Structure 1
C-alpha cells in the first residue's frame, strides 16, 4: 500500500504543527511549506497526491499558488487542492473556484473535518 503524500502550506506554525501531527497519525506523509513561494518550490521538486494551502500567506496566497499550478505543466497540476480560509465571502469562494481549488474549509475547523475531506478527495 503506498502512502499518500500531502503538501501542507500554512504560515501559522501552531496550526501547521497541529495539522501535520493529525495527518501523520492517519498515515499520510506530510511535507510542509511556510509560505506560497516555498509551496511552489516544493511542487516543482516533488509529486504529491494532495495539497492543502492556506488562503492568506506571505509571498503568494493559496489562490495564487493554485492558479499557478493549474496553468503550469507541473506533474501536480491535476491533484486535489484544499484551501484553508478565514474568508467565507461569496466573492472569495468564486475566486478560489476560478483558480481551480477543489474544495475549501473555512476556519476555524476541526482536524477531524480536515481528515474527512482529505479522505474523500483521495478516494476519488
Structure 2
C-alpha cells in the first residue's frame, strides 16, 4: 500500500499482484517498465518468479526487476544479482530511496516532485554549533574531502579492495555522524554489513554507493549554497 500510494502520487501507473503466482501471470502477459518484486510472497517466492521470467521468453524477460526485502543479511543481498535482480530495496525505506531507485534504474527524472533536502544537525559540537564561522569551516571541509573519499570508496569496491573500502567507510561514518545525518549513516551501516566476509560480488555494494552518492551530492549543493551567503555580521561582497 505504501509503495502504491507513493508511485501513484508521482503519476506512475501501477499493477498489483497479490501473490507470486499472480505476479508471474501478469508479468508473463503484460509489458512493464519496472517490476518491484517482493521476496516473500504466498504461493511462489520472488526468487522463483524472477528466475522464471529471466529463463523463458516473455514481455519482461529483460525488464529491470527490483527485489524488495525486509531481510538485509549480507549473504542474501549478495545473491540478488545472481538470481536475475537488477537492484534491491530494503524495507522499511524512505520515499527518497524509492524515488532515487526509479531514477537510477529507468533514467527518469520526471516522476516525482523535488525531494526533501538532507537533514543535518551540528548540535554534537556543543557551543561551536552556534559559531557561524566555525560551521562554515566544517561545511567547507566537507566539500573539500567527502566527495574525494566517496570516489576513492567506489574505486576500492569496484576493484575488490575490501580492507581499503572498510577504512573509508569508517572515516565517512565519523564525518556524517558528526552532523547526525541519519540517512547517510544508515547507508554506511548497510555498506559495512555488506562488506562482512566473504564478499563475493560488488554489485550490491555499488547500488548502496549510488544512494550514498545522491545524499552526498544534495549535501554538497546545500553547503555550497550556504557558503555563498555572507555571514550575518558581515556586509555582502562588493559588486
**Larger strand proportion, structure 1 or 2?**
1
1:100 aligned to which of 81, 84, 95: 84
Partner of 1:32: 16
Which structure shows the bigger proportion of residues in helix conformation?
2
Contact 1:63/1:95 (<8 A) preserved:
no
Separation of aligned partners in 1, 2:87 and 2:56: 20
Q: Partner of 1:47 in structure 2?
A: 31
Please tell me whether Structure 1 or Structure 2 has the larger radius of gyration of its CA atoms. Answer: 2
Q: Which residue of 1 aligns with 2:51?
A: 67
Q: What are the residue-to-residue correspondences of 1:71-90 with 2, within 5 Å?
A: 71-90=55-74
Higher relative contact order (CA 8 A, sep 6+): 1
Q: Which runs of 4+ in 1 moved over 4 A?
A: none
3-state SS of 1:101 partner: coil
How far off its partner does 1:112 sit?
2.4
Q: Tell me the TM-score normalised to structure 1 length.
A: 0.81
Following superposition, the deviation at residue 37 of structure 1 comes to 0.6
Q: Which residue of 2 aligns with 1:123?
A: 107
Cα deviation, 1:33-79, whole Å, max 9, x if unaligned, reads: 01111100101221101000111111111111111111111121111
After TM superposition, give the deviation of residue 24 of structure 1 in Å.
Answer: 1.0
Q: Is the 1:80–1:101 contact (alpha carbons within 8 Å) kept by the matching residues of 2?
A: yes
Q: Is the 8 A contact 2:19 2:41 kept in 1?
A: yes
Unaligned runs of 5+ in 2: 109-239
Q: Which moved more, 1:55-64 or 1:86-95?
A: 86-95
Which digits, 9 at most, give the CA deviation of each residue in 1:77-117, with x for residues without a partner?
11111111111122212332211101111111112211220
Following the alignment from structure 1 to structure 2, what is the Cα–Cα distance between the partners of residues 61 and 34?
12
